[in-house]
């Protein structure tokens, strides 16, 4: 096999793993955001946030 | 007198998760942009650079392999410092930092392993040699996975953080021993003909792309790390809110 | 000897269980901790025994027979679990604890046989602990309090799983301990049948704890 | 402290104790190997020390997770934590008892298994000696894992996963020393002394880490 194959393969692998990490962080963030939104919709907020709204 | 106290206040400001979140919100787009720019330059340079007279174009693997290997160690160091923060200063953000770093460390270590063996195949004719460096990195990978497993196995985040902090520190003092012992083992078992990566000094033509790629990877790590920390903080905040919700529901009933 | 607790607060996981508990007990006095389930009785006792770090506040033993750094060193802790090995005989269990715990200054523990006599189970120390009934096991766990002298007894639901006769036996043990100048702190649902004890009513912490998150 | 040692030893001998299981596991693993690699006696003699070492490594990890978990379940851990005696010392004694009950039988069984593996006298002697020095190190570093996983209901497998990478140096120097004893040019002492040093090092770091983990995990 040509050397180019190994170079391409390693760049692709590196990209895939990094992409996976980015995806993990991003999806995790979206999921957390959705949960927070749902809690907020149910009227549950942090106390500090409540005070800010009141004041 | 005022200066240290100011410094302490700065530190504890940063330590407050809410402040930290605000800081992350400001910083992360810039960090991400910087990372992208660095990668653009680094990738361009690494593909524009000349081929090595010995290794041909496989030398380009170095531009991802070496930074990833560097990150695999730096990430563990970050985790060890966070572990100290957890155990000595009992800092909540240190818990978060160590927990968020583990999957990133595992990821970069995996990159180092894959690219290492992709480099090894054309150079040494085999995917894997039980070389001291490769073996140590593999052990490091196992330890990252063990830490992730430990974190997943415990439901109480504070206790999981403390347990993994101890494990991280035990691992931190052990990694040099493992490295040393594998080197010893290697000299016993391996024919000396196997190629060394640290042979000749690196030509400046390769050094620049390598450096820029290393900085780019480091920036990538920090970007992902603070974002993962943000996720973890949100996760804990959600857990607290849910508990409060459950409690107030119980009181109302 | 005085046991002084000042402004104790404790957390379990992320939740604040109680806040700002203060009391003072002198030698020869007992404190009964009462309150509903989940009001933090067990947590308070574990904080006193040094098994759980207090979020704030201190608990110290002052003017004891020997200076102690931690209250725990001068204390017996009888928790929900008996801290006895099922595989070993009662005698082996108690002998181990007697040797391992050792006596605190200012008193001496009873021998294993005497202690077993005191809890009313004299003849059966040769049996494996696992073969005893739940009530007998609990009594033998109480005998553990007697084999090594500790001025402070921290008792978490000591009379759960005991019948009335055993309860009065236990009240006798505590009274004898108090008369030797000891201190007893017990969390309980049932009245222990002790005279002249102080009571600490745990209400639980109903407010919402402020967390860093 | 002697009382603690005696109690733990008694416990491991009684029903449900792990002493016998470890040796049985060790012997079974070693007995199974020839079926995997074939009955070639020369090959067995060559890999014998390594097989014995790997078997011993796995066998000494076997009962480790129960080291503190059993104490935690019946409440004894609370009392051990409360005492004036430094917890590190208590943990050290418990490790020692665990090694006497499970590690030492492995060492004693190893010459017999060495014969099955067609090893010569020098190899058997060297293996036994290195196991004698090396298995305590595995127990000590394993105690750190056991302390970390004490509160986990299914901690057993996790302890092995966490501890095995840390035990690599012990394995390397143990096996190296044996091979150095068999093959003439390589000197026996350096790897053996490093093994001793590792043992001492782990004897400190293991109990310290385990004690810290136990303190932090109590609630």
Q: For D169-178, what is each residue's pLDDT tens digit?
A: 899 899 888 8
Quote the pLDDT of residue C18.
84
What chain B residue is nearest to C210 in terms of C-alpha separation?
B240
Residues in chain C: 213
Q: Which residues of B162-180 are buried (b: 16+ CB within 10 A; e: fewer)?
A: bbbbbbbbbbbebbebbbe
pLDDT at D15 over 80: no
Quote the pLDDT of residue B206.
74
With a pLDDT cut of 70, the percent of chain B lying above it is 82
In Å, what is the CA distance from B33 to each residue of B29, B30, B44, B132, B209?
6, 5, 17, 37, 19
Taking only the tens place, the pLDDT of each residue in D125-161 is 999 999 999 999 999 999 999 999 888 877 778 888 8
What own/partner pairs with CB < 8 Å and gap ≥ 24 does B88-93 have? B91/B15, B92/B15, B92/B17, B92/C212, B92/C213, B93/B14, B93/B15, B93/B17, B93/B20, B93/B229
Q: How far is B1 from chain A (nearest CA, A)?
A: 32
Comparing CB atoms, the residue among A7, A9, A22 nearest residue B224 is A22
With a pLDDT cut of 90, the percent of chain B lying above it is 36
Quote the pLDDT of residue D37.
86
Residues in chain D: 219
Residue C155 pLDDT grade (very low, low, confident, very high; cuts 50, 70, 90): very high
pLDDT at A55 over 60: no
Contacts of A11 in chain B (CB under 8 A): 60, 64
Quote the pLDDT of residue B155.
80
Q: Provide mean pLDDT across the span B39-58.
A: 75
pLDDT higher for B57 or D52? D52
In the structure, do chain B and chain A come into contact, i.e. share 3 or more CB pairs under 8 Å?
A: yes
Q: How many CB atoms lie within 10 A of CB B6?
A: 10
CA-nearest of C129, C130, C128, C93 to C112 is C93
- Mean pLDDT rounded to a whole number for chain D: 88
pLDDT higher for B237 or B48? B237
Contacts of C15 in chain B (CB under 8 A): 243
Contact criterion met (CB below 8 Å) for B91 and B165: no
Contact criterion met (CB below 8 Å) for D191 and D130: no
Strand-pair partners of C77: C154
Chain C interface disruption, residue of B89, B93, B243, most C CBs within 10 A: B243
CA-nearest of C60, C55, C137, C157 to C94 is C137
Task: Determine which of B178-192, C6-20, D28-42 has the lowest per-residue pLDDT on average.
Answer: B178-192
Residue B223 exposed, middle or buried by CB count within 10 Å (0-12, 13-18, 19+): buried
Stretch (H or E) spanning B252: helix B204-252
Which are the contacts of C154, defined by CB distance < 8 A and separation ≥ 6?
C45, C48, C49, C75, C76, C77, C78, C185, C186
Residue B241 pLDDT grade (very low, low, confident, very high; cuts 50, 70, 90): confident
- Which residues of D fall below an 8 Å CB-CB distance to B? 141, 144-145, 147-149, 151-152, 154-155, 158, 161-162, 164-166, 168-169, 172-173, 176, 179, 186, 191, 194, 198, 201, 205, 209, 212-213, 216-217, 219
Residue range(s) defining the domain that contains residue C124: 28-53+66-197
Chain A interface disruption, residue of B31, B45, B114, most A CBs within 10 A: B114
How far apart CA B245 and CA C109 sit, in angstroms, is 50
pLDDT higher for B206 or C166? C166
Contact criterion met (CB below 8 Å) for B91 and C212: no
Quote the pLDDT of residue A16.
93
Comparing CB atoms, the residue among C13, C208, C213 nearest residue B237 is C213
Contacts of B111 in chain A (CB under 8 A): 13-14, 17-18
Q: Verify whether the Cβ–Cβ distance C73 to D79 is below 8 Å.
A: no
Q: How far is B173 from chain D (nearest CA, A)?
A: 9
Contacts of D1 in chain C (CB under 8 A): 100
With a pLDDT cut of 90, the percent of chain D lying above it is 41
Q: Provide mean pLDDT across the span C24-42.
A: 86
Residue B130 pLDDT grade (very low, low, confident, very high; cuts 50, 70, 90): confident
With a pLDDT cut of 90, the percent of chain C lying above it is 27
Task: Give every strand in the sheet of C183-187, ordered side by side.
Answer: C75-78, C152-156, C183-187, C30-35, C198-202
Contacts of B166 in chain D (CB under 8 A): 144, 147-148, 209, 212-213, 216
Three-class SS of residue C34? strand
In the structure, do chain D and chain B come into contact, i.e. share 3 or more CB pairs under 8 Å?
A: yes
- Mean pLDDT rounded to a whole number for chain B: 81
pLDDT at C19 over 70: yes
Quote the pLDDT of residue B201.
54
* Residue at token pair 């005085």: C2
How far apart CA D122 and CA D94 sit, in angstroms, is 33
**C144 lies in some domain:** yes
Residues in chain A: 55
Three-class SS of residue D14? coil
pLDDT at B14 over 90: no
Q: Verify whether the Cβ–Cβ distance B16 to C15 is below 8 Å.
A: no
* Residue at token pair 């995790």: A28
pLDDT at A33 over 50: yes
Taking only the tens place, the pLDDT of each residue in D182-199 is 886 778 888 899 999 999
Chain B, 62 to 81: residues with Cβ < 8 Å from chain A are 64-65, 68
Quote the pLDDT of residue B4.
42
Q: At what angle do helices D155-166 and D41-62 cross, to 10 degrees?
A: 120
How far apart CA C75 and CA C153 sit, in angstroms, is 6
Q: Verify whether the Cβ–Cβ distance D3 to C75 is below 8 Å.
A: no
How far apart CA C111 and CA C23 sit, in angstroms, is 34
pLDDT at C96 over 60: yes
Q: How many CB atoms lie within 10 A of CB C99?
A: 16
Residue B1 pLDDT grade (very low, low, confident, very high; cuts 50, 70, 90): very low
Q: How many CB atoms lie within 10 A of CB B52?
A: 16
Quote the pLDDT of residue B203.
66
pLDDT higher for A13 or D19? A13
pLDDT at C162 over 90: no
Q: At what angle do helices D19-37 and D104-116 cross, to 10 degrees?
A: 20
Q: Provide mean pLDDT across the span B234-253.
A: 78
Count of structural domains, chain C: 1
Contacts of C208 in chain B (CB under 8 A): 244, 247-248
Contact criterion met (CB below 8 Å) for B223 and B28: yes
Contact criterion met (CB below 8 Å) for D71 and D147: no
Q: Provide mean pLDDT across the span C59-64.
A: 85
Contact criterion met (CB below 8 Å) for C202 and C33: yes
In Å, what is the CA distance from B126 to each residue of B117, B195, B196?
8, 12, 14
CA angle A22, A28, A34 (to 5 degrees): 135
In the structure, do chain D and chain A come into contact, i.e. share 3 or more CB pairs under 8 Å?
A: no
How far apart CA B107 and CA A17 sit, in angstroms, is 6
What chain C residue is nearest to B161 in terms of C-alpha separation?
C13
pLDDT at D71 over 60: yes
Q: Provide the CATH number for the domain around residue C98.
A: 3.40.50.300
Contacts of A37 in chain B (CB under 8 A): none
Residue B15 pLDDT grade (very low, low, confident, very high; cuts 50, 70, 90): low
Taking only the tens place, the pLDDT of each residue in B91-128 is 888 989 999 999 999 999 999 999 888 888 887 777 88
pLDDT at B6 over 50: no
Q: Provide mean pLDDT across the span B157-184.
A: 86
**C107 lies in some domain:** yes
Task: Determine which of B20-29, B188-197, C106-115 has the lowest per-residue pLDDT on average.
Answer: B188-197
Contacts of B121 in chain A (CB under 8 A): 6
How far apart CA D9 and CA B207 sit, in angstroms, is 61
Q: Half-sphere exposure (CA, 13 Å, Cβ side) for B83? A: 25
Contacts of C213 in chain B (CB under 8 A): 17, 92, 233, 236-237, 239-240
* Dihedral sign, Cα of residue B247, residue B248, residue B249, residue B251: positive
pLDDT at B7 over 50: no
Residues in chain B: 253
Residue D16 pLDDT grade (very low, low, confident, very high; cuts 50, 70, 90): low
CA angle C98, C99, C102 (to 5 degrees): 75
Which are the contacts of D139, defined by CB distance < 8 A and separation ≥ 6?
D60, D64, D95, D98, D99, D102, D103, D206
Q: Provide mean pLDDT across the span A22-41.
A: 91
Question: Where is mean pLDDT largest: B56-60, B175-179, D32-36, D88-92?
Answer: D88-92
Quote the pLDDT of residue B191.
45
Three-class SS of residue C15? strand
Quote the pLDDT of residue B8.
47
Task: Determine which of B19-28, D15-24, D33-42, D141-150 has the lowest per-residue pLDDT on average.
Answer: D15-24
In Å, what is the CA distance from B55 to each residue of B43, B193, B195, C171, D81?
19, 17, 12, 86, 60
DSSP for residue D36: H
Phi then psi dihedrals of residue C209, to 5 deg:
-70, 140
Q: At what angle do helices D121-148 and D66-73 cross, to 10 degrees?
A: 40
Residue C93 pLDDT grade (very low, low, confident, very high; cuts 50, 70, 90): very high
Q: Are strands C56-62 and C2-12 parallel, antiparallel or unpaired?
A: antiparallel
pLDDT at D38 over 50: yes
pLDDT at C213 over 80: no
Residue B188 pLDDT grade (very low, low, confident, very high; cuts 50, 70, 90): low
């Amino acid at each position: 096999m040509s050397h180019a194959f190994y170079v391409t393969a390693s760049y692709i692998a590196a990209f895939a793993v990094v992409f996976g990490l980015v995806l993990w962080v991003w999806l995790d963030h979206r999921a957390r955001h959705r949960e927070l939104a749902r809690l907020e919709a149910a009227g549950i907020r942090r106390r500090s946030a409540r005070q800010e709204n009141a004041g | 007198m005022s200066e240290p106290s100011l410094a302490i206040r700065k530190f504890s400001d940063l330590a407050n998760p809410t402040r930290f979140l605000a800081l992350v919100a400001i910083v992360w787009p810039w960090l991400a942009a910087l990372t992208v720019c660095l990668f653009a330059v680094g990738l361009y340079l690494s593909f524009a650079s000349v081929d090595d007279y010995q290794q041909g174009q496989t030398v380009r693997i170095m531009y991802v392999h070496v930074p990833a290997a560097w990150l695999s160690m730096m990430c563990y160091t970050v985790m060890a410092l966070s572990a100290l923060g957890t155990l000595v200063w009992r800092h909540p953000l240190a818990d978060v930092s160590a927990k968020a770093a583990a999957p990133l460390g595992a990821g970069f270590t995996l990159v180092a392993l894959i690219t290492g063996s992709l480099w090894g195949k054309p150079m040494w004719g085999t995917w894997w040699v039980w070389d001291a460096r490769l073996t140590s990195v593999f052990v490091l990978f196992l330890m990252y996975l063990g830490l992730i497993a430990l974190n997943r196995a415990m439901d109480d985040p504070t206790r999981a953080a403390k347990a993994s902090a101890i494990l991280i520190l035990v691992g931190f003092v052990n990694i040099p021993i493992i490295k040393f012992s594998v080197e010893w083992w290697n000299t016993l078992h391996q024919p000396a003909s196997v190629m060394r990566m640290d042979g000749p000094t690196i030509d400046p033509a390769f050094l620049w792309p390598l450096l820029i790629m290393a900085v780019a990877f480091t920036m990538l790590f920090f970007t992902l790390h603070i974002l993962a920390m943000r996720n973890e903080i949100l996760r804990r905040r959600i857990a607290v809110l849910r508990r409060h919700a459950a409690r107030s529901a119980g009181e109302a009933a | 000897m005085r046991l002084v607790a000042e402004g104790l607060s404790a957390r379990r996981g992320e939740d604040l269980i109680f806040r700002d508990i203060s009391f003072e007990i002198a030698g020869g006095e007992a404190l009964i901790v009462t309150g509903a389930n989940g009001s933090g009785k067990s947590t308070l006792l574990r904080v006193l025994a040094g098994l759980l770090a207090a979020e704030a506040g201190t608990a110290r033993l002052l003017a004891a027979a020997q200076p102690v750094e931690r209250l725990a060193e001068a204390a017996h802790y009888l928790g929900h679990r008996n801290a006895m090995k099922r595989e070993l005989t009662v005698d082996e269990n108690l002998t181990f604890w007697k040797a391992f715990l050792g006596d605190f200054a200012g008193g001496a523990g009873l021998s294993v046989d005497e202690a077993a006599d005191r809890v009313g189970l004299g003849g059966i120390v040769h049996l494996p602990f696992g073969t005893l009934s739940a009530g007998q096991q609990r009594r033998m766990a109480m005998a553990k309090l007697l084999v090594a002298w500790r001025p402070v007894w921290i008792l978490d639901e000591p009379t759960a799983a005991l019948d009335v006769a055993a309860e009065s036996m236990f009240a006798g043990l505590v009274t004898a301990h108090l008369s030797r100048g000891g201190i007893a702190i017990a969390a309980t649902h049932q009245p222990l049948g002790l005279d002249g004890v102080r009571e600490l009513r745990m209400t639980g912490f109903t407010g919402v704890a402020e967390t860093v998150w | 402290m002697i009382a603690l040692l005696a109690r733990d030893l008694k416990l491991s001998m009684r029903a449900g104790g792990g002493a016998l299981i470890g040796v049985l596991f060790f012997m079974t693993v070693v007995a199974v190997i020839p079926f995997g690699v074939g009955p070639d006696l020369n090959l067995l003699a060559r890999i014998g020390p390594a097989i014995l070492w790997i078997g011993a490594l796995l066998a000494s990890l076997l009962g480790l997770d129960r080291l503190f978990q059993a104490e935690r379940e019946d409440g004894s851990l609370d009392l051990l934590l409360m005492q004036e005696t430094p917890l590190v010392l208590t943990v050290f004694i418990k490790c020692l008892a665990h090694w006497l009950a499970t590690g030492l039988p492995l060492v004693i069984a190893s010459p017999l298994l060495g014969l099955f593996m067609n090893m010569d006298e020098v190899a058997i002697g060297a293996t036994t000696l290195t196991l004698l020095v090396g298995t305590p190190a595995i127990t000590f570093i394993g105690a750190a894992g056991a302390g970390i996983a004490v509160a986990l209901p299914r901690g057993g497998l996790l302890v092995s996963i966490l501890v095995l990478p840390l035990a690599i140096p012990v394995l390397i120097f143990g096996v190296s020393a044996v091979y150095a004893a068999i093959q003439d040019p390589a000197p026996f002492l350096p790897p053996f002394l490093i093994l001793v040093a590792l043992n001492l090092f782990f004897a400190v770091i293991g109990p310290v880490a385990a004690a810290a983990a136990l303190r932090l995990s109590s609630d």
